[in-house]
Structure 1
């Protein structure tokens, strides 16, 4: 699966949680063991038990050394047609280094061009939820949708005991430059009953270590989706944060 997500952190921006700190924290989550249901090879009959056993609110990020329970970086589900797409990440990072040395002005279009040149096009819709029923309920809907083949892959962060830190759920799409597919994914997420704020982040930002409060003043999320309860029929209002225009 794609790299981790800095948005595990819940709180005001800045301070100790610099871009570098967030990058290090997400890398640590990636490197710890993941709990994965792989629908490509695991019988569907085992899914409900897996979902109940590994509810995000009950799985500790740090495990329990006394009970020999390992830390858990992520809980993830791979859909029946999931095919990992990473592109040329090393080439992307080398081109990024050269770009910074050149002193060229860095914009969203610069990053997009790098991503296209190296086929690093995956991205994800993100949501942040309190621990307990809220995250468990939302995750069960998303995980079922992945099992049905509506998404290729999704993941959720485990809980941080004795902390008010929120969980993050990430639902992936194959190509952040395909706006129509990104909007379709938002509609499918809303179809599971999720009404909270969603934001969309291309993985290229994560691979390049560009988090919020970065020195290029780039916003690492490129869409924001708010569910409109007033509208009939109810739908998302999605803002393109690069152009600051409404998409839907």
Structure 2
């Protein structure tokens, strides 16, 4: 693995600020959502067929009257939308830097606890076409069945071989047992590819690849081990307390 998140998909090496801006653009554009909390579960399969990640276009298509889509998401009975004082969080982060406090995982974790910004996500990168559609269907069913909390996947970028980003959420990144349990549920859903785990607080604070603080933007790495019996994940910590 060439860096802490993933190999860059093109020759342009984006800055942390550019990654943050791209993520914000996706969050601000309309989402396509299946909410299993108030939608019959029997409607999931036709919804998946109508909104395959490989077919939904990130930037839409004016010729077909299609609007941009930021994310495709699935919510289930365990989904809780976290309400975070983002302005206060960012302000406190700036004050830490102005005070000369070392910018570390522990510093970000303390802020996350103070502002109750505890969600995080396992991230995987999947080729477009059948692979992403199949993986997304597996994860979506696990969410709706209550085995996972919530998940989202990036749409397709027309004319690009860019991989899809899939995020599967956990409740508390400071609770390692919870983080590892979600990894186990993802593996049980049939996902075998390498994954990385990122706290939401890192996203809000703009901690992406090549960030100015030199922090690794993910805190766990999971690789599925086919050589052990039974098969399981090998999870590596990428942070120091």
Which TM bucket (shorter chain)? over 0.9
Going from structure 1 to structure 2, the CA distance change for 1:9 and 1:22 (only over 3 Å counts) comes to farther
SS in 1 for 2:54: helix
How far has the Cα of 1:16 moved from its partner? 4.3
> Which residue in 2 is equivalent to 1:135?
132
Going from structure 1 to structure 2, the CA distance change for 1:19 and 1:167 (only over 3 Å counts) comes to same
Going from structure 1 to structure 2, the CA distance change for 1:12 and 1:99 (only over 3 Å counts) comes to farther
How far has the Cα of 1:38 moved from its partner? 0.5
Going from structure 1 to structure 2, the CA distance change for 1:16 and 1:225 (only over 3 Å counts) comes to closer
For the residues of structure 2 that align with 1:184 and 1:73, how far apart are their CA atoms? 28
SS in 2 for 1:56: coil
Is 1:119 matched up with 2:116? Answer: yes
For the residues of structure 2 that align with 1:75 and 1:110, how far apart are their CA atoms? 32
TM-score by length of 2: 0.94
- Paired residues for 1:1-248 under 5 Å: 10-11=8-9, 15-243=12-240
For the residues of structure 1 that align with 2:151 and 2:9, how far apart are their CA atoms? 24
Q: Structure 2: 5+ residue runs without aligned partners?
A: none
> How well do the aligned residues superpose, as a CA RMSD in angstroms?
1.7
For the residues of structure 2 that align with 1:72 and 1:215, how far apart are their CA atoms? 30
Matched-pair contact (CA < 8 Å) for 2:120–2:173: yes
For the residues of structure 2 that align with 1:66 and 1:119, how far apart are their CA atoms? 44
SS in 1 for 2:221: strand
Matched-pair contact (CA < 8 Å) for 2:105–2:240: no
For the residues of structure 2 that align with 1:214 and 1:87, how far apart are their CA atoms? 23
The superposition leaves residues 137-156 of structure 1 with CA deviations (integer Å, 9 ceiling, x where unpaired) of 11100000000111221000
Going from structure 1 to structure 2, the CA distance change for 1:237 and 1:86 (only over 3 Å counts) comes to same
For the residues of structure 2 that align with 1:8 and 1:230, how far apart are their CA atoms? 24
How far has the Cα of 1:166 moved from its partner? 0.4
The superposition leaves residues 152-208 of structure 1 with CA deviations (integer Å, 9 ceiling, x where unpaired) of 210000011111110011000110000001000000000011110000000001101
TM-score by length of 1: 0.91
